[in-house]
Structure 1
C-alpha cells in the first residue's frame, strides 16, 4: 500500500467511524457508559521504508474532524522504541495489545516508583529485559489499543500512552487493510468502540482547556510558558505528586517541589511560545538533553514526536500526562 493510499483509507474510515460514534453513544447511551467519552484529536501517519503506521493522539471531550500529520521514520522499531538491541517482544503474524503495558524491566520499576497512579493503567503486562520494546517481522498486523509503552535503561526513562496505533507492512493492499479495520471495529463491544475511551471521572475535570477539542492543534501553540503553567498547574502537581510549582528557575521552565525532597526539574519541549523582545516566538522541538544538576529531570514532549530515551531524563509526552491525571 502506497503512503497516499494509507492516508486516504484512514481518513475515510476514521471520519465515518468517529462521527457515527460521537453522534450516538454519548447521546443515546450516556447512562450506560462508565463516564464521559473522550476522542482523539489528531491522526499521525508515519511512513518507514517497509511499514505504514497510524496513531491517534489527543484527548478531547468532544469529537471534531481529526487534524492530520504526516511524517517519516527510519524504522518501525524507532517509532515504537529504541531501535537497536534485544526486544521485550518479537511480533510474529497478527498482534493485539489492548489495555496493556509493554515495558522493559527497568522502565517498569521506574514507572512504579515515579508514577503510582499508573497502576490503574497497566492492564495486561508484557515486561522483559530487552534493550528495545518491539521487533517487527513482515506480515505483521500489530495493533496497540490503549497501550502504555515504557522504556527504561540505566537512568533513562520514556513513557508513552498510546490511544490507538496500528503498524502494517507496506506490502499489504489497501482493501485488505480497510477490511481489517472494519472487522476489528465490528468485533468490539457496542459501548466500547475503537478510537475512544470512556472513563469514570467527574465531567468537571474535563472542562480544563487541555481537553478542549481544538486545544492540541491550536490552543497549545498560542500559549507562553507562564500561560501553559497556569492552565496545567493542577495537572502537573497531581501527576508528579508535588506540593508546589516554581516557575522558570535557572536551566528549566519549572520545578515541581515534592514533600520527599525528590523535586522535578521540568522543561517543555512543546510548541509553546517564548517572549523575546516583547514578541512571541513558537518553540521548535528539540531533542531533550540532560542538565548539569542532581535533580530529577523531566522533558514534556509532543505526543506525535518520535523521541528516543535520553540518559538522566524522564521523557513523558503530553497525552500520557493527561491520561495519568485522569487516574489520579
Structure 2
C-alpha cells in the first residue's frame, strides 16, 4: 500500500468511526458507560521504507475532527524508540494484537511499581521479559497496540509511553485488505467500548481543567510560560508521580530547572519541560524552541542533579525552599506526538502518559 493510500484510508475511516461513536454512545448509552468518554485529538501517520504506522494521540473531552500529522522516519524501530539488537520482550511475527495491556522489560516493570504508583490500575494484560529491547518487528502484516503501556529501558534510562491506539502495517499489504482489517477489528469490540475511545469512572468535573483543552501539546502553549503550564498542571503532576509538593522554577545558582517534585516517600524528582512554552527573562519573552534534542535536555538534567551532590548546595536549597534534595530522579516531559528515544539516566515521559497516570490515580 502506498503512503498516499494509507493516508486516504485512515483519514476517512477514523473520521467516520469516531464521529459516529460520539453522536451515539454519549447520548443513547450515557448511563451505561463507566464515566465520561474521551477521544483522541490527532492522527499521526508515519511512513518508513517497509512499514506504515498509524497512531491516535491526545485525550479530548469531546470528539473533534482529528488533526493529521504526516512524517517520514528511517524504520519502524526508530518510531518506537527501539535498538537493533539483543533479546526482546515481544517478537512480532505475523499478526499481533495488544489491548489494555502492558509490555515492559523486567527493569521497566519494576520501575512502574517504584516510580509510578497509579500505574497498577492500568496494567491490564502484562507481557514482561528479561530483555534488552521491548519489541522486534518481523515481516508480516499487522501489529496493533490498543490502550497499551509500553515501558522501554536502556541501561539506566526509562521511557514509559501509553499508547491510545497504534498500528504498524507492512507496506506489502494492499489497501482493500487493510480496510477490511480495520472494519473487522472495530466490529470485534464491545458496543459500549469502541476502539479509539476511553471511558473511565471519574467525575466529569475532573476533565474541566485547562490541561484537557490541548492535551497533545500542539495548541495553546505557544504563548504560555513555564509557570502558567505548571499552574494548569500541578494537580496532574502531583498525582501521576505520587508527589505532595511542587517547587516551581527553583534557582540553583546559575542553574534553572523547571520544577522539583517532592514525593510522599520523601524522594525528589527534578524536571524539565521540552515543550513550546515561553521563558520570561528580565521582563522579555523568549520563546523556547519546540524541538530541542533530548540529549541536550538530558545533559541539563544531569547538571541539575549533580548540583545536589555537595552538602553546601543542599543546605542552600533547604534554606531557600524548605526541601532536602539528595540523588533526585531526572524527568524530561516531552510532547505527546513526538518520537523520542530513552536518554541516559533520565525518565522521558510524554504528556498523554502523565495524563493517563493521573486519571488512573482517581
Answer whether TM exceeds 0.5 for this pair.
yes
**Matching of residues 1-328 of structure 1 within 5 Å:** 1-85=1-85, 86-212=87-213, 216-249=217-250, 250-276=255-281, 278-286=284-292, 287=294, 288-290=297-299, 291-292=302-303, 293=305, 294-328=327-361
Q: How far, CA to CA, are the matches of 2:175 and 2:344 in structure 1? A: 40
Cα 1:107/1:215, change in 2 over 3 Å: closer
Q: How far, CA to CA, are the matches of 1:223 and 1:310 in structure 2? A: 26
Report the more deviating stretch, 12-21 or 273-282: 273-282
The answer (yes or no) to whether the contact 1:39–1:61 under 8 Å persists in 2 is: yes
Q: How far, CA to CA, are the matches of 1:253 and 1:118 in structure 2? A: 24
SS in structure 2 at match of 1:289: helix
Aligned to 2:316: none
The structural deviation recorded for 1:278 is: 1.6
Q: How far, CA to CA, are the matches of 1:181 and 1:2 in structure 2? A: 17
Q: How far, CA to CA, are the matches of 1:183 and 1:216 in structure 2? A: 32
SS in structure 2 at match of 1:23: helix
The structural deviation recorded for 1:280 is: 4.5
The structural deviation recorded for 1:105 is: 0.7
The answer (yes or no) to whether the contact 1:26–1:37 under 8 Å persists in 2 is: yes
Cα 1:215/1:304, change in 2 over 3 Å: closer
The answer (yes or no) to whether the contact 2:217–2:335 under 8 Å persists in 1 is: no
The answer (yes or no) to whether the contact 1:209–1:215 under 8 Å persists in 2 is: no
Q: Residues 185-234 of structure 1: CA distance to partner in whole angstroms, max 9, x if unpaired?
A: 11111101110011001111011122226874312333211110010011
Q: How far, CA to CA, are the matches of 1:34 and 1:255 in structure 2? A: 35
The structural deviation recorded for 1:305 is: 1.1
Cα 1:236/1:213, change in 2 over 3 Å: closer
The answer (yes or no) to whether the contact 1:107–1:153 under 8 Å persists in 2 is: no
The answer (yes or no) to whether the contact 1:75–1:83 under 8 Å persists in 2 is: no
Q: What is the TM-score with the length of structure 2 in the denominator?
A: 0.87
Q: How far, CA to CA, are the matches of 1:66 and 1:221 in structure 2? A: 20
Unmatched tracts of structure 2, length 5 or more: 306-326
The structural deviation recorded for 1:282 is: 4.1
Aligned to 2:323: none
Cα 1:68/1:75, change in 2 over 3 Å: same
Cα 1:306/1:215, change in 2 over 3 Å: closer
Q: How far, CA to CA, are the matches of 1:118 and 1:215 in structure 2? A: 20
The answer (yes or no) to whether the contact 1:100–1:147 under 8 Å persists in 2 is: yes
SS in structure 1 at match of 2:18: helix
Q: How far, CA to CA, are the matches of 1:264 and 1:113 in structure 2? A: 13
Q: How far, CA to CA, are the matches of 1:121 and 1:27 in structure 2? A: 26
Q: What is the TM-score with the length of structure 1 in the denominator?
A: 0.96
* Structure number with bigger Rg: 2
The answer (yes or no) to whether the contact 1:237–1:245 under 8 Å persists in 2 is: yes
SS in structure 1 at match of 2:272: strand
Report the more deviating stretch, 24-33 or 67-76: 67-76
Q: How far, CA to CA, are the matches of 2:216 and 2:157 in structure 1? A: 30
Aligned positions, number = 328
Cα RMSD of the aligned pairs, angstroms, is 1.5
